[in-house]
């Protein structure tokens, strides 16, 4: 026991030094007031970047997470719990942006680059190689690039769900209207009653002889259901289907390895849970054949949005474990890029790797598990739209019906009022989400709470108390 504690404290000090605690102690909101030395970013960049590098048992250490919280400039008078919409960059990232913007302007540096160092770091954090990783503008940008680059013809089917985000729906609908691609949607059940196998079965039943692609969000932004990626990928592989995952919420929340998931394409945000600068995202494209996770041939794919496509064309895609070219480079090199945004992504990826992606996942899932238990205790488990008991389906987004009169959840105005009064009367920011529910004649307007690394155990209790009081006041 003593040993564990000693290790834990020593490591904690080391980690805090690396992520900049101590350097950024002044709790200022103004960018110009952030005290920093460029060396803090430099030293952080030399830290270990291996996925899951941090095996030290710190996840339950509240002091550690309070120190982490202090790295963020979030308004102290507000409890911000809508990370699912947008994160907030830590001080070190803000400082990097400021320093880099100034340096670029002074030297009029050009950003014609494929940003290999940033891609390499992002790749190592997300369990893949640099040739499979592109830096994009956001998830929507990644999804559009994936769907624009696939070879699909009239009558080909994309099997997707009825809970997708417009970032995936928009490019799919264009394929429908432009090429005659057919969109088939699995109606997703909601709540705690399902197991991972149930979702897989629903997809299995919906596959037809025309299905070419399986596209789904994991987690869905509506109910925070983490569709079981690996199990669905195995199903897709059996049928020779291409897998596209809208993983907007995964980077920075979950410690997933793209290789181990075996997906073909995965688009994520770097500005939500990853807390990078606004306008940044990551895109994984399977670019070689690793028989352990996905023995199927690489799908035909064109990096349509690029400014570096070679005059001689690209060589054929590889059929083995050696990439025939760096796909991520083509997808990242699009004219003059932002050196500052790329530096910000690098900084924040380093911070996450230094804290430990597994440690962050454990913390944020621990908070959401606590939140779900409290909701189940006060309102009843049937009020949850998010899964609770199957660990394969959970994430750090929690959606539920808070209303004293359960039927109010179908009234948009009630839901809007709830979110707005949480802000004005309790200084807590959450959001609402609407979605179809099987068997219901109109959409449900749930509320959604995000728990992240800058939250503490008592923040969860605070939001539950506030939601309980407000639900009674609105009865």
Neighbours of 243 (CB within 10 A): 25
Q: Which is nearer to ligand PLP, 14 or 279 (CB)?
A: 279
Alpha-carbon distance of 274 to 424, in angstroms, equals 27
Residue 167 touches ligand PLP, criterion: CB under 6 A: yes
What DSSP character marks residue 102? H
Smallest gap from residue 380 Cβ to ligand PLP (A)? 27
Q: Which is nearer to ligand PLP, 165 or 378 (CB)?
A: 165
Smallest gap from residue 252 Cβ to ligand PLP (A)? 12
The pair of structure tokens assigned to 424 is: 């004005």
- Please, are residues 230 and 262 in contact by the beta-carbon 8 Å criterion? yes
Residue 100 touches ligand PLP, criterion: CB under 6 A: no
Please pick, from the candidates 221, 352, 400, 435, the single residue that binds ligand PLP as defined by CB under 6 A.
221
Smallest gap from residue 150 Cβ to ligand PLP (A)? 18
Look up tokens 């407000």; give the residue: 470
Please pick, from the candidates 165, 176, 378, 457, the single residue that binds ligand PLP as defined by CB under 6 A.
165
Which residues are within 8 A (CB) of 337 and not within 5 positions of it... i.e. 6 or more apart? 111, 112, 113, 115
Smallest gap from residue 163 Cβ to ligand PLP (A)? 9
473, burial (CB in 10 Å: exposed 0-12, middle 13-18, buried 19+): exposed
Q: What is the CA radius of gyration of the chain?
A: 22
Across the beta sheet with 397-400, what order do the strands follow?
Answer: 397-400, 444-450, 431-435
Smallest gap from residue 401 Cβ to ligand PLP (A)? 20
Three-state secondary-structure class, residue 13: helix
Nearest residue to ligand PLP by CB is 221
Residue 85 touches ligand PLP, criterion: CB under 6 A: yes
Q: Which is nearer to ligand PLP, 244 or 466 (CB)?
A: 244
Residue 277 touches ligand PLP, criterion: CB under 6 A: no
Residue 217 touches ligand PLP, criterion: CB under 6 A: yes
Q: Considering only residues 55-84, where is the footprint of ligand PLP by CB under 6 A?
A: 84
Please pick, from the candidates 140, 161, 354, 432, the single residue that binds ligand PLP as defined by CB under 6 A.
140
Smallest gap from residue 181 Cβ to ligand PLP (A)? 19
What DSSP character marks residue 403? -
CA distances from 89 to 110, 353, 454 (A): 24, 15, 11
Residue 386 touches ligand PLP, criterion: CB under 6 A: no
Task: Report the residue count for the chain.
Answer: 475
Alpha-carbon distance of 182 to 372, in angstroms, equals 37
Smallest gap from residue 85 Cβ to ligand PLP (A)? 6
Q: Which is nearer to ligand PLP, 114 or 217 (CB)?
A: 217
Look up tokens 């003593």; give the residue: 2
Residue 410 touches ligand PLP, criterion: CB under 6 A: no
Q: Considering only residues 231-270, where is the footprint of ligand PLP by CB under 6 A?
A: 246, 248, 269
- Please, are residues 79 and 463 in contact by the beta-carbon 8 Å criterion? yes
Q: Considering only residues 348-377, where is the footprint of ligand PLP by CB under 6 A?
A: none
Q: Which is nearer to ligand PLP, 85 or 336 (CB)?
A: 85
Residue 287 touches ligand PLP, criterion: CB under 6 A: no
Alpha helices in 180-277 (DSSP H): 196-206, 229-238, 258-261
Three-state secondary-structure class, residue 353: helix
Smallest gap from residue 106 Cβ to ligand PLP (A)? 31
Question: Which residues in this chain contact ligand PLP in the complex, by CB under 6 A?
Answer: 84-85, 138-140, 165, 167, 217, 221, 246, 248, 269, 281
């Amino acid at each position: 026991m003593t040993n564990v504690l000693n290790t834990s404290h020593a490591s904690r000090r080391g980690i805090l030094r690396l992520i900049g605690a101590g350097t950024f102690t002044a709790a200022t909101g103004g960018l110009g007031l952030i005290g920093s030395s460029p060396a803090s970013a430099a030293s952080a960049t030399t830290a270990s970047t291996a996925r899951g590098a941090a095996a030290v048992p710190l996840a339950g250490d509240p002091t550690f997470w309070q120190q982490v919280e202090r790295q963020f400039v979030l308004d102290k008078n507000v409890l911000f719990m809508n990370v699912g919409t947008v994160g907030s960059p830590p001080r070190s990232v803000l400082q990097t942006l400021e320093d880099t913007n100034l340096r670029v302007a002074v030297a009029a540096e050009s950003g014609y680059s494929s940003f290999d160092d940033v891609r390499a770091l992002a790749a190592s954090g997300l369990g893949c190689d640099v040739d499979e990783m592109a830096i994009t503008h956001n998830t929507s940008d990644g999804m559009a690039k994936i769907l624009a680059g696939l070879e699909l013809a009239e009558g080909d089917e994309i099997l997707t769900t009825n809970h997708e985000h417009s970032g995936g729906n928009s490019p799919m609908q264009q394929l429908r209207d432009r090429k005659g691609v057919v969109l088939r949607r699995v109606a997703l059940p909601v709540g705690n009653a399902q197991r991972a196998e149930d979702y897989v079965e629903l997809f299995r039943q919906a596959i037809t002889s025309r299905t070419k692609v399986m596209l789904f969000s994991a987690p869905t932004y509506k109910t925070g259901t983490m569709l079981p990626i690996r199990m669905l990928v195995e199903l897709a592989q059996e049928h020779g289907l291409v897998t596209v995952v809208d993983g907007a919420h995964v980077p920075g929340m979950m410690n997933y390895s793209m290789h181990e998931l075996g997906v073909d394409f995965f688009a994520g945000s770097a500005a939500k849970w990853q807390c990078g600068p606004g306008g940044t995202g990551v895109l994984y494209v399977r670019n070689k054949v690793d028989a352990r996770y996905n023995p199927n041939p690489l799908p035909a794919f064109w990096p349509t949005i690029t400014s570096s496509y070679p005059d001689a064309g690209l060589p054929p895609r590889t059929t083995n474990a050696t990439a025939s070219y760096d796909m991520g480079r083509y997808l990242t090199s699009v004219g003059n890029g932002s050196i500052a945004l790329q530096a910000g992504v690098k900084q924040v990826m380093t911070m996450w790797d230094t804290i430990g992606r597994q440690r962050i996942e454990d913390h944020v899932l621990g908070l959401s598990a606590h939140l779900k238990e409290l909701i189940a205790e006060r309102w009843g488990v049937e009020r949850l739209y998010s899964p609770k008991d199957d660990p394969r389906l959970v994430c750090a987004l929690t959606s539920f019906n808070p209303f004293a009169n359960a039927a109010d959840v179908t009234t948009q105005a009630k839901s809007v009022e709830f979110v707005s009064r949480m802000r004005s009367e309790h200084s807590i920011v959450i959001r609402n989400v609407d979605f179809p529910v099987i068997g219901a004649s109109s959409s449900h307007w749930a509320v959604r709470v995000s728990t992240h690394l800058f939250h503490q155990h008592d923040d969860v209790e605070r939001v539950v108390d506030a939601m309980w009081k407000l639900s009674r006041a609105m009865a």
